[in-house]
C-alpha cells in the first residue's frame, strides 16, 4: 500500500507541474530528514519557525530549493483570511485545521505562474494539525503538514513541495515581536 501511495505521489508531482517535470525542487531524502529534525528542534526550543531559523538549521540553498519547488502555497493570516496559490494543472481543494474543513472554491486569479484563490477560515485558539487535499488532473491526494498551526501573530505560509514525496511545512517570514 505504501509503495502504491509513494508511486502515485511521484507520478502526481511529475504530471501536475511543468516545473517538477524539469526536475526542479527534488531534494535527497537526507534533506527531508534534516528539515523534519530542524522543525522538531525548533518546536522543542519554542522558537518561531521562520525562514531565517530554517536557513540556519538546514542551509539556505536546501530551503530555497524546497520553496522554489513548491506546488502549493497556503497563506493563513491572523485575521482569519487565507490565500491559496497553486500551479496550473493542480488545485488545492480544501484544507482541514483540526476537525474543521475549509473549501477552496472559485476560479481564482492568474498571478503568473500561480492561480490564486482566497477565503475565510476560523482561527484556532490552540495549535491544530493542518492537512491539505490536493487535486492534480483528477487525482486527489491528502498531505499532512509537518508543523501545527496555532493562533498566529503574523501570516504563516505553508509550502507543499517535493521532498521524498510531498512534504508540507509552515514558515513565517520573520520573528514575531
pLDDT for the residue 1: 39
Is residue 176 included in any domain, yes or no?
A: no
- The secondary structure element, H or E, covering residue 171 is strand 166-171
In whole angstroms, what is the distance from residue 70 CA to residue 163 CA?
A: 10
C-alpha torsion sign, points 44, 78, 81, 86 = negative
Residues 6+ apart with CB under 8 A from 25: 19, 65, 66, 68, 69, 70, 161, 162
Tell me the residue range of the domain where 21 lies. 2-171
Is residue 177 included in any domain, yes or no?
A: no
- Predicted confidence pLDDT, tens digits, the chain (177 residues): 334 333 333 343 434 433 333 333 455 667 766 777 766 665 555 445 788 878 887 888 888 988 999 999 999 999 999 999 998 878 999 999 999 999 999 888 999 899 999 999 999 989 899 999 999 778 899 999 988 898 888 899 999 988 777 888 888 876 443
pLDDT for the residue 13: 40
Domain count along the chain: 1
CA distance from start to end of the chain: 45
Amino acid at each position: 500500500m505504501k509503495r502504491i501511495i509513494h508511486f502515485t505521489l511521484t507520478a502526481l508531482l511529475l504530471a501536475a507541474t511543468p516545473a517538477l517535470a524539469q526536475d526542479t525542487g527534488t531534494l535527497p531524502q537526507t534533506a527531508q530528514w534534516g528539515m523534519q529534525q530542524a522543525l522538531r528542534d525548533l518546536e522543542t526550543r519554542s522558537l518561531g519557525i521562520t525562514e531565517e531559523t530554517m536557513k540556519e538549521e538546514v542551509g539556505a540553498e536546501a530551503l530555497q530549493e524546497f520553496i522554489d519547488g513548491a506546488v502549493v502555497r497556503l497563506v493563513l493570516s491572523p485575521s482569519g483570511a487565507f490565500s491559496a496559490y497553486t500551479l496550473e494543472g493542480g488545485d488545492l481543494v480544501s484544507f482541514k485545521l483540526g476537525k474543521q474543513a475549509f473549501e477552496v472554491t472559485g476560479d481564482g486569479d492568474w498571478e503568473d505562474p500561480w492561480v490564486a484563490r482566497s477565503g475565510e477560515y476560523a482561527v484556532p485558539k490552540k495549535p491544530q494539525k493542518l492537512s491539505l487535499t490536493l487535486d492534480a488532473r483528477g487525482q486527489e491526494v491528502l498531505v499532512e503538514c509537518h508543523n501545527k498551526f496555532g493562533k498566529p501573530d503574523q501570516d504563516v505560509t505553508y509550502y507543499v513541495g517535493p521532498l521524498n514525496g510531498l512534504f508540507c511545512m509552515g514558515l513565517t517570514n520573520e520573528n514575531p515581536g
